[in-house]
Amino acid sequence: MSTCATASRDLDEPLAGTAATATTWLLLEQPGPWGAKALTSSHLDAGLGAALEAAAKDTGVRIALIRRPGPHADSHSPVERQVYAAHVRPDGAWLHSAVITDPARLLDLDFAALGRGEAGSFDAELAGAEHTGAPLALVCTNGKRDRCCALLGRPLATELAAAGASGTWEITHLGGHRFSPTLLVLPYGYAYGRLDAAAVKEVLTAVGDGRIVTDGCRGNSAWDRPGQAAELAVRTTVGEQRAGALSVVSSDVEAGEDGEDAAPQWQITVAHRDGRAWAVTVAQGAARPARPESCGGALGTPGRMDVVAVRELAGV
């Protein structure tokens, strides 16, 4: 059976620079089935879902629903729900958790402050605290958005949970169906694609030690797509594994070499916390030949981020 994921894999489409963007993730446990737009098409009250979407707009906060792997029965009665908030910019990353029974309480949060990396309202309004458990592995399994997420994501989530990865959750949407199975790892906010359970366990072990695995990595959601590709390129070039070591400090877009109608390219500065810095040139290309970006969708040439050059800056 041909799927968008098999086509992308067979064509060796690059993963770097394809992660969803968010400085802060807000995750709400919601049992039961999920629709394609889960916040407004699940057993969560649709009006509440729409209000949460509106509250998070333009704040840097991305809201998603999560559930434990396995059967997804929903009793429709008030139950305790796990909530997580994670800020993923390396200069102030954190992961906090809370347990609530009324999801409407999320509307009391200061979304703008959460997007800036301030955890105060989460802790005050929801009695939240720093998460001290295992790193979170959030596997996209929403088959209503794309069948690859169900066909490839659900078995991965089930296998991880059965193997004792206690931080495993299913999540509604991470973008990039054709890179399934896709997952987000918290607290550091790096997304991955095309990994099997053994590779995910290596990623989680590394995260527990404060390290980042770059194999299969799509990028850190704190940065835009060019920034994701640039940061990963520097990590690979200098062999930097430590979480929080690198930050994207500037990004300037310019026209491509063939004039105004050419695809853009970016001059990006990636800085190390030890004072070193690199200039990275990233060009936007088109993935060819044409392939489906989602199952059942038309053939297209999705954008790709190609790193053209990495140059260490002297005297920075």
User: What pLDDT is attached to residue 251?
Assistant: 96
What pLDDT, on the 0 to 100 scale, is given for residue 2? 66
> Quick one: pLDDT at residue 239?
97
Contacts of 173 (CB under 8 A, 6+ apart): 20, 38, 64, 140, 142, 145
Residue 316: predicted pLDDT: 58
229 CA to centre of own chain: 14
Cα dihedral 38→44→48→53 (10° resolution): -20
pLDDT of residue 76: 67
In angstroms, the CA 178 to CA 225 distance is 16
Paired tokens of 110: 């200061």
Taking 70 as the pLDDT cut, the residues of the chain under it are: 1-2, 72-78, 256-261, 315-316
Q: Which amino acid, residue 132? A: T
162 backbone dihedrals φ, ψ, rounded to 5°: -65, -30
The separation between CA 309 and the C-alpha centre of its own chain, rounded to angstroms, equals: 25
> Given this model, what pLDDT does residue 295 score?
84
| pTM, rounded to two decimals | 0.94
Helix, strand, coil percentages (3-state) for the chain, rounded to 5, are 25, 30, 45
